[in-house]
Structure 1
Amino acid sequence: MKKIVFGLAFSLLIIPLAFSQGSTEYTGGYKVKFNEDGSKYLRIIAWGQFWAQYNEDVPDDVSQFNFSIRRARVLTFTQLNKKFLILTHWGLNSLNGNNQSPLGFGENAQLFFHDFWGEWKVVDNHDIGAGLHYWNGISRLNNQSTLNMMTLDNNRQSWATIGLSDQFARHIGVYAKGKFGKLQYRVAFNEAGTSTLDTRDPVADGVTVYGGRRILGSADAGKVLQGYFDFNFLDQESNFLPYKVGSYLGSKKVFNIGAGFFNHANGVVEADGEGADVNIFAVDAFYDAPLGQDGSAITAYLVYQNNDYGENYNFGPYATGNMVYGHVGYLVPGPADKTRLQPYVSYNNRSIDAIDDNATRFGLGANIFMTGHHSKLSLEYANSKVGDADGTGVFTVQAMIYL
């Protein structure tokens, strides 16, 4: 049955410092300078997304129209000199009438750290860090920023471990990141989480379960290794923070080819009670460039991802098999300081070994930029289908502001 989803997303930031049609990185916010040239500083960024949602496909006793806070976040980072940095990122997700806390604490309290890490410079262009971090492996989209995506939201299967081995796509561990010329890298060695979304019993339920650390213990299933490498052929992207830009709106000419991996030894337990490794590998390409002097631009992305969660693993959006995903957007010509239109299309096709069939998702949408990614309206129709089941259509309208 088709669903119609109306989303309103707003972002509020304390004291804006930067506004431009193509502003895509973390240059805005409230900057507290500790010296005259601003090299010692604290930067604060805050945003929120608020939804009003209508869904036809619900039980009779459930309201079809609901309000929620999709995201509420505050991010800060500071440098007292170029030798070290500390970053904090906290907030909540999907707060609604069903999971509110009566007094703001206890079982339903949702405020938590998304990121909290410290970073030290080893030499120029090479850094190491430790903490709860987002320096992920696999692909560009597994490192995606949520503030400048081209599509309405990220491709769900690209966040390939969220809630399985990590805390909302973040692990606790150590990382190294940097660049050799045009080659950028990020690698990390992390703890795997004991608590996961997959609470099934492998033997009793006769399925492969992502619960290796919970069932086998941390000695055998407690660590994760991941990395991502991308070669920047044209303009060089910033790797100061891990959050990858979704669309530069023609302000850069970028062409990158990347490859990444994720390994969790004994991350899953199969139906016979034996542990098996989780291995995910991807190769991708990203192109974003102006098409002429008229303000038009193209954004294109393509990824192939091989997902091995153990034999016949199938749990919601996660499944052993292969995936091909891509999207293309076109920024319609016009002055950079005026309202702009960017229609786009996306497509996801993934095989699911457990059902010997495929799942697909087709998306057709458009962004209306009032002030680049800082103020935009997005509309998207998506149709998803798994195996022989009927397709499900979703129409979403989202308004977004971040400063």
Structure 2
Amino acid sequence: MKLKILLTTFAFSGFLFAQDSINVIEEKIEEPKQGPKFKTSLGEIKLNLDESGDKNIKFGLSSQIWLRSIDNNPGTLVNGIPQTSTYDASLRRMRISISAQLSNYYSIVMQLGINNQSFISGGGAGTGANGQGKKPQIFFMDAYNELAIIPRKDEIKKKENKHHLYIGAGLHGWAGVSRMTNASTTKLLTADLPVFNFPNIEVSDQFSRQFGVFVHGEYDKFNYRIAVNKPFATNRNPEVGQIVDNNQSGKLSYAAYGMYQFFDKENTATSFFAGTYLGSKKVFNIGAGFYSNNDATLSQPTEGVFKSHNEFIFGADAFLDMPIGRKAREMSISLYSVFYRYNFGPNYLRTTGLLNPGTADPNFTGTKALEGFGNARFLLGTGNIWYSQAGFVLPKFSDRVKLQPFFAYALKDLEALNEIGNYFDIGANLFILAQNAKVAYQYSSRPLYTQDTKEVFTIRGEHLITLQIAF
């Protein structure tokens, strides 16, 4: 019954969203007769600072609203009341991006906003007028300067260079490990990312960003990025037999990712890779990368004995996105597969629950999940994860709308657990104006482990509808 209600809401929301979004995008901004010229498109809002447009300021806005039905883990309280299931609405992401191209060689990039605000989380502490979910603080996700050593465009010939090279510094997301570690959150194939693609998310990074120096560029069909960063400080102390994040020695981190582009080249002016192009490109890339940080975790094998451990993450992936069939039918496929090898030290394990509404019920006497309460799951740990996703754009049935069913699977073989975990996602994207306006539905399953045997004893699920506008 819940699924039927959600699907009905999904379809109705898509219709309303389509009507509103089409009206907004079709409005044109008139150019003033004097002064800077404004341009608008589905991809950006651009303020030109010279006649050529080479000097400019670009603005972007994005909003992702979540509606969910969560099957809670056993023994969950929500707002102090035992609940086996919970409905909620939230702001998953709300962003403002600004980039200033001051010359062909120098630019500034900023992105700010909020993430993960719900009725009970993401805001100020306390109760009453300033409740737990209210008034979250805006913060910077990106804030860096960039210098072109070899720019993409030859300033004299006004043509694209075959090779380019950039160097930058600041709070940035030019990360290593995999394509998905550098994923665009507004061009996803699935309704949301699996999150383990960010190995240090909100631990030693700030929403997958760290402070540091980076280099990125392209040589023919080989694209690459390299970074040397100062991770955010962690100083947890482990109990006996436990391993936790503790980088008090202050070692630098090193990251890199490179990919070979067999067909069309992708636009890498920003650090973010698309999860799907809806067949607008013919792309086949293979890549590999790593992340390394010495003395990143700390364990206490025996009472009073502490030992530091190095973090090393390796990833290898492949991405295919291309049109198929007759051109008039506008069909396409998107395929992505990645293998991660994580090493944080012996038996390291990390849990997460996106916008988790739950807390532990101290009076619960049934079988408790090792993961915890709410929608918590084992995110990652020392061991291996294989993740794959696939999407198919159905044959054209409208001049405005595209429908793309998708499926994703993650296999987690983690050292601290005694059974492999299988995680599934299935859903569909309803694109109203490509990635700029879409509605997505996704059902996700998560296995839960017992506290004693560390084996799977049950499965819980979560229904998600996301409404996105981004440009």
Q: TM-score, normalised by structure 2?
A: 0.75
**Aligned twin of 2:115:** 93
Is the CA contact (8 Å cut-off) linking 1:144 and 1:244 kept in structure 2? yes
Matches within 5 A, 1:126-275: 126-195=165-234, 199=236, 201-202=237-238, 204-213=239-248, 217-218=249-250, 222-272=251-301, 273-275=306-308
Output one character per residue of 1:63-83: Cα deviation in whole Å (capped at 9) or x when no partner.
Answer: 833332221110010112110
**Aligned twin of 1:304:** 339
Matches within 5 A, 1:4-403: 28-57=43-72, 58-59=76-77, 61-62=80-81, 64-98=86-120, 99-101=122-124, 109-124=136-151, 125-195=164-234, 199=236, 201-202=237-238, 204-213=239-248, 217-218=249-250, 222-272=251-301, 273-292=306-325, 293=327, 294-316=329-351, 317-334=379-396, 337-386=399-448, 387-403=455-471
The 3-state SS of whatever aligns with 1:212 is coil
Is the CA contact (8 Å cut-off) linking 2:289 and 2:315 kept in structure 1? yes
- CA distance in structure 2 between the partners assigned to 1:343 and 1:305 by the alignment: 25
* Distance change (3 Å), C-alpha of 1:240 and 1:161: same
Q: Give the residue type in structure 1 aligned to 2:258.
A: F
- CA distance in structure 2 between the partners assigned to 1:39 and 1:134 by the alignment: 24
- CA distance in structure 1 between the partners assigned to 2:148 and 2:172 by the alignment: 16
Ranges in structure 1 where 5+ consecutive residues have no aligned partner: 20-25
* Distance change (3 Å), C-alpha of 1:44 and 1:112: same
The 3-state SS of whatever aligns with 2:416 is helix
Quote how far apart the aligned CAs of 1:398 are.
1.8
- CA distance in structure 1 between the partners assigned to 2:135 and 2:255 by the alignment: 32
Is the CA contact (8 Å cut-off) linking 1:141 and 1:155 kept in structure 2? no
Quote how far apart the aligned CAs of 1:110 are.
2.2
Is the CA contact (8 Å cut-off) linking 2:407 and 2:425 kept in structure 1? yes
Q: Give the residue type in structure 2 aligned to 1:281.
A: F
Output one character per residue of 1:263-314: Cα deviation in whole Å (capped at 9) or x when no partner.
Answer: 0011111224111110000100000000031211000001111000111101
Is the CA contact (8 Å cut-off) linking 2:69 and 2:464 kept in structure 1? no
- CA distance in structure 1 between the partners assigned to 2:294 and 2:398 by the alignment: 49
- CA distance in structure 2 between the partners assigned to 1:360 and 1:18 by the alignment: 46
- CA distance in structure 2 between the partners assigned to 1:339 and 1:382 by the alignment: 25
- CA distance in structure 2 between the partners assigned to 1:32 and 1:147 by the alignment: 22
The 3-state SS of whatever aligns with 1:324 is strand
- CA distance in structure 1 between the partners assigned to 2:166 and 2:71 by the alignment: 49
Is the CA contact (8 Å cut-off) linking 1:280 and 1:307 kept in structure 2? yes
* Distance change (3 Å), C-alpha of 1:279 and 1:29: same
- CA distance in structure 2 between the partners assigned to 1:305 and 1:346 by the alignment: 16
The 3-state SS of whatever aligns with 1:156 is coil
Output one character per residue of 1:232-276: Cα deviation in whole Å (capped at 9) or x when no partner.
Answer: 000001111001011000000000000000000111112241111
Counting aligned pairs with the same residue, the percent is 29
- CA distance in structure 1 between the partners assigned to 2:463 and 2:342 by the alignment: 29
Output one character per residue of 1:188-221: Cα deviation in whole Å (capped at 9) or x when no partner.
Answer: 000011147xx4x22x2421111122xxx32xxx
* Distance change (3 Å), C-alpha of 1:148 and 1:17: farther
> How many residues are matched?
382
- CA distance in structure 2 between the partners assigned to 1:152 and 1:109 by the alignment: 23
* Distance change (3 Å), C-alpha of 1:88 and 1:309: same
Ranges in structure 2 where 5+ consecutive residues have no aligned partner: 29-40, 152-163, 352-378, 449-454
- CA distance in structure 2 between the partners assigned to 1:174 and 1:394 by the alignment: 39
Is the CA contact (8 Å cut-off) linking 1:17 and 1:29 kept in structure 2? no
Quote how far apart the aligned CAs of 1:344 are.
1.1
**Runs of 4+ in structure 1 over 4 Å off:** 2-12, 15-19
Q: Give the residue type in structure 2 aligned to 1:243.
A: F
- CA distance in structure 2 between the partners assigned to 1:282 and 1:18 by the alignment: 44
**Aligned twin of 1:23:** none
Quote how far apart the aligned CAs of 1:364 are.
1.1
Q: TM-score, normalised by structure 1?
A: 0.88
Quote how far apart the aligned CAs of 1:27 are.
6.5
